[in-house]
Every structure is written in C-alpha cells, then in structure tokens.
Amino acid sequence: MNKEAVNFGILTCPSCHSRSEVAMPTHACVILWQCPQCDMELQPKPGDCCVFCSYGDTPCPPIQREKTLQQEHC
C-alpha cells in the first residue's frame, strides 16, 4: 500500500464556520493560520500537531504518512 498524501485540506473556522481550501506543506506542520473571513488566528488544539489536524477535513501530510506506515506494518 503506497498511498500518496493529500496536499490540500478544507479548514473550518470554529468562530465564523467559513471553510477554506488550503495547501498543506508536505514536510511541515502549520501551527498558525488566520481565517480569511473573520481574521481569527487558529492554533492546534492540545495534542494535535497542526491546524489541519485540529480544524481540517484531512490530517496533515506527515500524519497521513505516519498512518500509512502503521497500516503497512500491521
């Protein structure tokens, strides 16, 4: 199983509920993102590595790869 990471995600602002399609870096976590609708600055929730893992419809590429590797070793 060699699934490629998804490089775009939909972030949903918890304040105004607007949704934005955002490019995800492939080898880094985004720890700060500003909502283009209401200007709220989002930070990861405790225990999450980035805003995509907290507010996105898809986890960030590093977490996607980690999950793929875990599935390959099962």
How do the domains of the chain map onto residue ranges?
8-72
In sequence order, the 6+-apart residues with CB closer than 8 A to the CB of 1 are 68, 71, 72
Residue 4 has pLDDT above 90, yes or no: no
pLDDT at res. 31: 95
Q: Backbone phi, then psi, for 62, in 5-degree steps? A: -60, -40
Residue 42 has pLDDT above 90, yes or no: yes
Instruction: Give the H or E element holding residue 71.
Output: helix 61-72
pLDDT at res. 3: 63
Q: What is the pTM of this model?
A: 0.84
- Tell me the residue ranges of DSSP E strands in 1-74: 8-12, 19-23, 33-34, 41-42
Position 47 confidence tier, pLDDT thresholds 50, 70, 90: very high
